[in-house]
Every structure is written in structure tokens, then in C-alpha cells.
Structure 1
Amino acid sequence: MTDFTPNSTFLIVGIVFITIAVIGESKLAFIEINPGCFGRILALFIGISSLLYSCGLLNFSAVNLDLLRTYMTDLINRV
């Protein structure tokens, strides 16, 4: 069996939502997908953010937040 990592899951979700945003109204077997204008924009936003997260560009780990906090405290102390 194949284990799904969070990155591959976000990659698959991103591709699915981008496809929904681009295709719009479609029929898949017995399921009809018609997201409308707001649904397509929302699907595009979710798809892009999922793809960015899977690529590591939108990943906020505890280390990054700790580095940001120390940088900001040093910056405040200098002023």
C-alpha cells in the first residue's frame, strides 16, 4: 500500500480544485459539477494555496516562526 504524505495530499487536492476552477460546468459520470462564479474563484484560491503548500512555499513551521520572532525582537531592541 502507498502511504499518502501531506504534501502529496495537498498536491492532489490542488490539482482537483484547479481543474474545477478551469473547467467549471462539467458532468462526471452521474455527478454534475456547476460551481458558479464564486465557486470557481474559491476553487482557484484553494487550489493555488494547496499547490503552494505542497511545494513548500506556504509552509509555516515552528522554526520559521521562531526565527521571525527573534528577528522582530532584535529589530525592536535596535530601535
Structure 2
Amino acid sequence: MTDLTSNSTFLIAGIVFITIAVIGQSKLAFIEINPGFFGRFLALIIGISSLLYALGLLNFSAVNLDLLRTFLTEQIKQSISSINELLQGL
């Protein structure tokens, strides 16, 4: 349950920050948002990182991480052996 709540939080924060970065100067009810260039750039960076983090929480469960670790270990072993063969040929 907490995983879903934190995922939703980062998703909503990412959407809000991306909206601030894209719209720029606007007036929401009684709040005026005028971030300027640096504020819009910072909102864009925070928004993209929040959305990527929320996406990462969805895609990487414990099983997927174990499969990824196994796959990367096998790829590293294969690349090390091929590099050794290449160096032996020189």
C-alpha cells in the first residue's frame, strides 16, 4: 500500500512540476505563478526526475531486479571472456 501511495505522490508531483515548467506565468485562483527562466528549468528537471522515479517504482519489483542482476552478470562474464580472447589474439 505504501508503494502505491509513494508512486502516486511522485506521479502527481511530476505532473504538477511539468505543468509549471510548460505554462510558466499563470494565475490559479488567488495564487500567481511566475517562476522565470531558472524556475521553469528547475521545475522541468524536478518534474522529469519525479516521473522517472514513479515509473521506476512501477517497473522494478524484487523479481525484476533479480532477473536483471542475473542477466547483467551473464553479460559481464561473456564480455570479459570475449575481451580476454581478443587480447590473447594480439
The answer to whether the superposition gives a TM-score over 0.5 is: yes
Query: 1:51: which partner in 2?
Result: 51
1:54-73 correspondence to structure 2 within 5 Å: 54-56=54-56
**Structure 1 runs (4+) greater than 6 angstroms displaced:** none
The number of residue pairs the alignment matches comes to 75
Distance 2:50 2:30 in 1: 27
Query: 1:15: which partner in 2?
Result: 15
Q: Comparing both structures, which one devotes a greater share of its residues to helix?
A: 2
TM-score (ref. length: structure 2): 0.61
Instruction: State the identity as a percent.
Output: 76
Distance 2:5 2:31 in 1: 28
Unaligned runs of 5+ in 2: 58-64, 78-90
Alignment RMSD: 3.4
1:20-39 correspondence to structure 2 within 5 Å: 20-39=20-39
How far residue 54 of structure 1 moved from its aligned partner, in angstroms, is 0.1
**What letter corresponds to residue 10 of structure 1 in structure 2?**
F
Q: Which has the larger radius of gyration?
A: 2
Unaligned runs of 5+ in 1: 58-63
TM-score (ref. length: structure 1): 0.69
